[in-house]
Amino acid sequence: MVTYAVTTRNLTTDQSVLLEFKHQINDPHGILVDNWTTSHSFCNWTGVTCGAKHKRIKALNLPNMNLIGTIPPELGNLSFLASLNLSGNGFHGDLPGELGQLSRLKLVDLSSNFFTGEIPSSFGRLNQVSDLVLSNNNLTGAIPPEISNLLNMRTLDLASNKLSGSIPSSIYNISSLRMVSLSFNGLSGKMPDDMCHHLPNLEALYLGTNELSGQIPTTINECKNLQVLALDYNQLSGSIPRSIGNLTALTELYLGGNNLEGEIPWEIGNLLNLEIFFAMDMRLTGLIPTSIGNLTNLKEIYLGPNFLE
């Protein structure tokens, strides 16, 4: 009898949370107005998926529906939620810290909205998350170091925001990461020398169009599964490390728009899968290595303006 009472209350909670969410939304196409009604089970509402056993909400997926509004903190009470996708809408305001209570979340995609404010440090409690996607918003402040607690994360995409400060070095300890995209922000600081030591599974690293300084770590080759490396349009100095030639899985390499100088290393010719090599607008000197002729898959190469011969 007690179990029934708890379940009933939880089901009621889930429904009331969704109705509060609906109340916060301007729905120009009437998608939720006509469908999210108490005349039938919320498990059949558009964008809602319930678990087969408990009939609790496990997914709230409403991408690209022209919805406008804010996320109410009550959404943090959907305790069985595993997937939250509100991408490609007109949501705005701050991200409620209460979302950090959703301990079962595996997917968070709030990209391509108008969210402002900082990324809540409480997101560091989402320890089941594999994909955290907050790109194309207006988020400000620093990346909270608590994000590095998400040891199951495969995708971290915070690109195209207004984030500042340095990248927490502890993020580079998340060995499950496959894609990190932090490009088009105002991030500063240096890339740690051992940044690839714990990232054997990393396939794509997008750090372009920030304010990063220092040198490209010579240990970059330890990210041995990298297919895309984008470091363009920062303030990186020094030379292109010869160890880049060991990243034989690379298909795209973007280094241009930095203060890199010296010669293009001969080892570039080892990147036999390379399709795009972007190294324009820097201070490179010397001869273009003939080893580039080995790159039979190359489709695009950008080398000027530099001081190459």
What CATH number corresponds to the domain at position 195? 3.80.10.10
35 in a domain, yes or no? no
31 in a domain, yes or no? no
Per residue in 92-149, pLDDT tens?
Answer: 999 999 999 999 999 999 999 999 999 999 999 999 999 999 999 999 999 999 999 9
Instruction: Quote the mean pLDDT of the chain.
Output: 94
77 in a domain, yes or no? no
Predicted TM-score (pTM) of this structure: 0.94
Q: Which residues constitute the domain of residue 194?
A: 82-302
36 in a domain, yes or no? no
Cα separation, 228 vs 89, in Å, equals 28
Per residue in 169-202, pLDDT tens?
Answer: 999 999 999 999 999 999 999 999 999 999 999 9
193 in a domain, yes or no? yes
- 93 closest CA partner among 167, 188, 26: 26
52 in a domain, yes or no? no
Q: How many structural domains compose the chain? A: 1
255 in a domain, yes or no? yes
Which residue is it, tokens 């402002």?
116
